[in-house]
Chain A
Amino acid sequence: MNVWQFMLQNHAEVLELTLEHLWLVGVSTLLAVFIGIPLGIVITRWPALNKPVLGGANIIQTIPSLALFGFLLPAPWIGARADRLAILALTLYALLPLIRNTYAGIKGVDRSVVEAGRGMGLTDRQLLFQVEIPLALGVIIAGIRVATVISVGLATIAAAIGAGGLGEYIFRGLAMVNNQVILAGAIPAAAMALLADVSLGWLEKRLSPH
């Protein structure tokens, strides 16, 4: 039996795991966007926070994912359900690219444009929302793109703590020493990552200033 036949035969399960996977990635990326982008903006305004925030996000990034899942296990409410745990861990991992790109995007806006805006009497808010964010949008979307693609891959490990997703097949396949089963998890996950990469790449190009 090859991998395609396997997937066809178990199409209901494949679909269910894919949807679980999408749920883990989608919710965590969304959470990371809502936390990471404001944090990235905040550190352009208060340079003193720059090092601790980026440093913290960097440190999280260096924690091996399995260990992070383990660390979070005793957390109240979060630790009670595997998918909550996975979403929290994935959110934490997605923060770094989002904070960093938001910061770099805003800092990378042409200095003369910012100075002209400030000189003509834009308030900091107006400068941020009408000039800096629109001009940084391409770089910020690039951050979302990187975070999403990383998250699709990392979410397969969430199966190790029972959070479901396409990692189920990969771990099952490993246990059964069955490549077909591994591929039944790996192929949809790779397709998902590619799709996210291409579509967000397209968005990035469209929203980049000319």
Chain B
Amino acid sequence: MSQTKSHPVIEFRNVSYRLNGDAGRELLHDLNLRVERGETLVLLGRSGSGKTTTLKLINHLLTPTAGEVRVEQRPTREWDVIRLRRMIGYVIQEVGLFPHFTVARNIGLVPKIENWPANRIAERVQELLALVGLHPEIALRYPRELSGGQRQRVGVARALAADPPILLMDEPFGALDPITRAELQREFLGLQNRLRKTIVFVTHDLREALLLGTRIALMEAGRLVTVQTAEEFPTCVEPLAAAYREAFGSDLENSRQRDQP
């Protein structure tokens, strides 16, 4: 890749979002943020800080009430919303697998509506199952027959199905037990090393943010407090960042170093 400064993949320009138009509560206030190609930007903050709102503004599940969100330099308002969403993988905490579809149909749905030939879809499904560390036989099962960890793996595979350049992940590992979570976080890092997607990742877990993020955007009450690289964050003087570090205790410093070569 050349070193010339490329344009950001996603850009927030003075974005605010209010519930029910102008009258409602402001969930997001004057956000300015750039997400660069190939990075994992973590949105860190507690519930109600505006992380999920920020995420949904990117794939136009929500429309900004002020300012604009640009994806590939084009305001989301001007995108054909279906085309926009098909180039953005979306993974949520509840996974949201289609309960009446097998795993294979869940993963292959977007390729299918994009009119891929059946054999190519089947190949892609197997490829993705391998990628997220699932046994090929799982393809024929239904979501209810899977464990929580398996479901979220299928959710990730489904989001990657049509090879979108952008991935949005809303606390994808939040509902998993600690061991499964650690496993999926490790695999996420391996996956990201190979695929180099542009990822926006929402979490309230500082440890997860430090482990997975290239940069961390700290949010509070609908405002962006600071954006720091994962390396800078542990020494960031911002009071809220310090408060976070304190809340997560002293074993924090080790958590990132452990995973670095």
A119 partner residues in chain B, CB cutoff 8 A: 59, 61, 85, 88, 90, 92, 168
Min CB–CB distance B168 → chain A (angstroms): 8
If A110-B99, A112-B94, A209-B99 are given as contacts, then 9 extra A-B residue pairs at C-beta distance below 8 Å, sorted by A number, are A110-B94, A110-B96, A112-B96, A114-B96, A119-B85, A119-B92, A119-B168, A120-B159, A121-B84
- B110, CB-defined interface residue at 8 Å: yes
Pairs A–B under 8 Å by Cβ, sample size 17: A112-B95, A112-B96, A113-B96, A115-B92, A115-B96, A116-B98, A118-B61, A119-B88, A120-B89, A120-B109, A121-B82, A121-B83, A121-B85, A131-B98, A135-B98, A135-B100, A209-B99
Q: Which residue from B90, B95, B142 sits with its C-beta under 8 Å from A120?
A: B90
> Do B100 and A134 have beta carbons less than 8 Å apart?
yes
Q: Which residue from B84, B96, B100, B142 sits with its C-beta under 8 Å from A116?
A: B96
User: How far, in angstroms, from A74 to B89 measured CA to CA in the complex?
Assistant: 60
Smallest Cβ-Cβ distance to B55: which chain A residue: A119
Min CB–CB distance B44 → chain A (angstroms): 21
B88 partner residues in chain A, CB cutoff 8 A: 119, 121
Measured as residues with beta carbon below 8 angstroms from the partner, the interface class of chain A is 20 to 34
- B51, CB-defined interface residue at 8 Å: no
B82 partner residues in chain A, CB cutoff 8 A: 121-123
- A116, A121, A123 interface centre (most CB from chain B within 10 Å): A121
B247 partner residues in chain A, CB cutoff 8 A: none
Cβ-Cβ contact count across A and B, 8 Å cutoff = 66
> Do A116 and B99 have beta carbons less than 8 Å apart?
no
User: How far, in angstroms, from A120 to B160 measured CA to CA in the complex?
Assistant: 10
- B86, CB-defined interface residue at 8 Å: yes
Min CB–CB distance B231 → chain A (angstroms): 31
User: How far, in angstroms, from A123 to B114 measured CA to CA in the complex?
Assistant: 12
> Do A210 and B100 have beta carbons less than 8 Å apart?
yes
- A178, CB-defined interface residue at 8 Å: no
> Do B113 and A126 have beta carbons less than 8 Å apart?
yes
A117 partner residues in chain B, CB cutoff 8 A: 96, 98
A131 partner residues in chain B, CB cutoff 8 A: 98
User: How far, in angstroms, from A122 to B110 measured CA to CA in the complex?
Assistant: 8
Proximity bits, A100-131, B CB within 8 Å = 1, else 0 = 00000000001011111111111100100011
User: How far, in angstroms, from A130 to B110 measured CA to CA in the complex?
Assistant: 12
A112 partner residues in chain B, CB cutoff 8 A: 92, 94-96
A121 partner residues in chain B, CB cutoff 8 A: 82-86, 88, 110
> Do B113 and A122 have beta carbons less than 8 Å apart?
yes
Smallest Cβ-Cβ distance to A116: which chain B residue: B96
- B158, CB-defined interface residue at 8 Å: yes
A118 partner residues in chain B, CB cutoff 8 A: 61, 85
User: How far, in angstroms, from A113 to B94 measured CA to CA in the complex?
Assistant: 8
